[in-house]
Amino acid sequence: ALPAAVVADRQSLGRGRRGARWWQPPGSLAASIVIGCGGSGPQPAWSLACGVALAETLRLLEPAAEALVRWPNDVEVQGRKLAGILVETVGTGRAIFGVGVNTTGSAVEAPEALRRRLTTLPDISGRPLPRQRLLAAFVPRLLDLLEAMTADPAVLVTRYRPLCSLEGTFVTVHGAAGGRSGLCRGIAADGALLLDTPSGRLHVTSASLTALGDVWRGDAPR
């Protein structure tokens, strides 16, 4: 019966978006939540909804973790990755929300190339978070948000806005057509990233990002 959740005691191999490398401390939350999706394919907004529900849950259970959502599928604390999300469909009418959260361990245990890019809950608060407790609070929140979005897609925009890690930041998006830079203005209801560029507002549905902070590289926007 759906929804259903599968939790791994140990993750020996992780697959991220666009084949990105993923590492996770032993005993952390690595789960796949299977949800009925009425036969529709993956929607860009689903990953963001998952990130919003997860960030809200983390803030509720561990106030020291001021979690933010980095478009399109990461949860960060102080600019370091705490959780990753990958949404896919399998068969007909089923979506799998893959979630990995560093609820245990420390970033110093990670491969050297990743240490400065990630964090863990013990690094943030000094204590681990039981994965069962996190999952029990997160899944109902995710299901409620997805249901609310069915009735009103703009709900996602409202919930995402205070959690957007890139809001007001200049970023460069790298896609098939090359790179474009602009000022992040949040998201649209369909999950697209909104960038104000010198040539107008850009809706980005799929791309990799480079955050530029407060520095504009190229012509200043008008």
- pTM of the entire predicted model: 0.89
Q: Is 44 in the same domain as 145?
A: yes
At 7, which amino acid appears?
A: V
**Tally of domains in the chain:** 2
**pLDDT reading at 12 higher than 50:** yes
**pLDDT reading at 3 higher than 60:** yes
Query: Cα separation of 72 and 84, whole Å?
Result: 10
Q: Give how far Cα 91 sits from Cα of 54, 77, 102, 110, Å.
A: 25, 35, 29, 35
pLDDT at residue number 105: 96
Q: Is 150 in the same domain as 179?
A: no
Query: Cα separation of 197 and 204, whole Å?
Result: 12
Give yes or no for a contact between 101 and 134, defined as CB atoms under 8 angstroms apart.
Answer: yes
Strand order in the sheet with 170-175: 200-204, 193-197, 178-187, 170-175, 208-211
Q: Is residue 221 part of a domain?
A: no
Q: Is 175 in the same domain as 144?
A: no
Q: Is 181 in the same domain as 149?
A: no
Mean pLDDT of 14-43: 76
Give yes or no for a contact between 31 and 14, defined as CB atoms under 8 angstroms apart.
Answer: no
pLDDT at residue number 214: 46
Q: Is 100 in the same domain as 134?
A: yes
Tens of pLDDT, residues 98-138: 999 999 999 999 999 899 999 999 999 999 999 999 999 99
Q: Is residue 220 part of a domain?
A: no
Residue 207 sits in which domain range?
A: 170-211
